[in-house]
């Protein structure tokens, strides 16, 4: 395959690069920005894709963000590749503020008090307190245990999943809609003029290069003399 990596990365390298890419997050952000700017599409369509990707990062469907972003982008008639790149907005550096905004809004809409300890914020957090990572861990542990219970004498246990649904998933899902729409809208109106200006500047530069090449290339009459 033409685009296949020559050096296959080990699993541990993939995990490390996800949480801290080679060259740092600043370089990764510049790469994403560069790729988005060079997409061959209209600024509005690219920006709709960006909005879809940013909105998706406020949903609790971790592991499915690419699929959701692509689906939303298609519904919004946006650029799918731009939506996939825009999911970079959700990364280990932004997970805490995104989780705080989504869960805090969800608890507010449900009329329930929100404990910031759930996302690891606050002082004197008890050692036995089950924060966000613990909640996800318990949910996945229950899923695996219940899957194996179908083939073994073990009894299915849904307590972890039930707690996860009530404490995290449902508040996160409904609470992420408002901040997701706000950030997605801001991203759209911020991206349109930037991409428009970049595309105009790029076309102008390409036109200038073409004119220079045309001047340097001898005409047929000159070549015959």
Hey, what are 143's tokens? 């899923």
- Exposure string over 63-82, b if 16+ CB within 10 A, otherwise e: eebeebbbebbeebebbbbb
Residue 107 is predicted with a pLDDT of: 94
Residue 26 is predicted with a pLDDT of: 54
Distance CA 62, CA 68 (A): 10
**Left (φ > 0), alpha (ψ -120 to 50) or beta: where does 122 sit?**
left
Q: Where are the domains of the chain?
A: 39-199
Residue 102 is predicted with a pLDDT of: 93
Distance CA 210, CA 202 (A): 12
For residue 73, the number of C-alpha atoms closer than 13 Å in the C-beta half-sphere is 29
Question: Helix 177-216 and helix 95-109: axis angle, to 10°?
Answer: 140
Distance CA 141, CA 147 (A): 10
- The answer to pTM > 0.75 is no
Residue 203 is predicted with a pLDDT of: 72
pLDDT tens digits for the chain (225 residues)? Answer: 444 445 565 544 444 454 445 555 455 555 555 566 566 778 899 899 999 999 999 999 988 899 999 999 999 999 988 888 888 888 778 888 998 899 999 999 999 988 877 877 777 777 777 777 788 888 888 888 888 888 888 888 888 888 889 988 999 999 999 999 999 999 999 999 988 888 787 777 767 777 777 776 665 555 555
**106, 116, 68, 65: which is closest to 89 by C-alpha?**
65
């Amino acid at each position: 395959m033409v685009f296949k990596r020559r050096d296959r990365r080990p699993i541990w390298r993939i995990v490390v690069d996800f949480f801290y890419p080679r060259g740092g997050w600043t370089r990764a952000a510049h790469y994403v920005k560069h790729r988005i700017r060079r997409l061959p599409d209209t600024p509005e369509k690219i920006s709709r894709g960006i909005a879809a990707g940013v909105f998706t990062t406020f949903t609790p469907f971790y592991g499915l963000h690419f699929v959701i972003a692509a689906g939303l982008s298609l519904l919004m008639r946006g650029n799918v590749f731009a939506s996939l790149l825009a999911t970079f907005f959700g990364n280990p550096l932004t997970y805490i503020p995104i989780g705080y905004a989504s869960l805090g809004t969800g608890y507010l809409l449900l009329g329930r008090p929100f404990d910031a300890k759930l996302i690891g914020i606050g002082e004197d957090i008890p050692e036995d307190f089950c924060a966000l990572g613990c909640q996800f861990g318990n949910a996945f542990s229950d899923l695996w245990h219940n899957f194996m219970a179908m083939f073994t004498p073990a009894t299915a246990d849904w307590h972890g999943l039930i707690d996860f649904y009530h404490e995290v998933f449902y508040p996160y899902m409904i609470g992420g809609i408002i901040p997701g729409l706000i950030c997605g809208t801001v991203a759209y109106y911020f991206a349109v003029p930037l991409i428009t200006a970049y595309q105009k500047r790029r076309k102008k530069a390409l036109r200038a290069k073409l004119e220079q090449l045309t001047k340097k290339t001898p005409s047929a009459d000159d070549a015959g003399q």
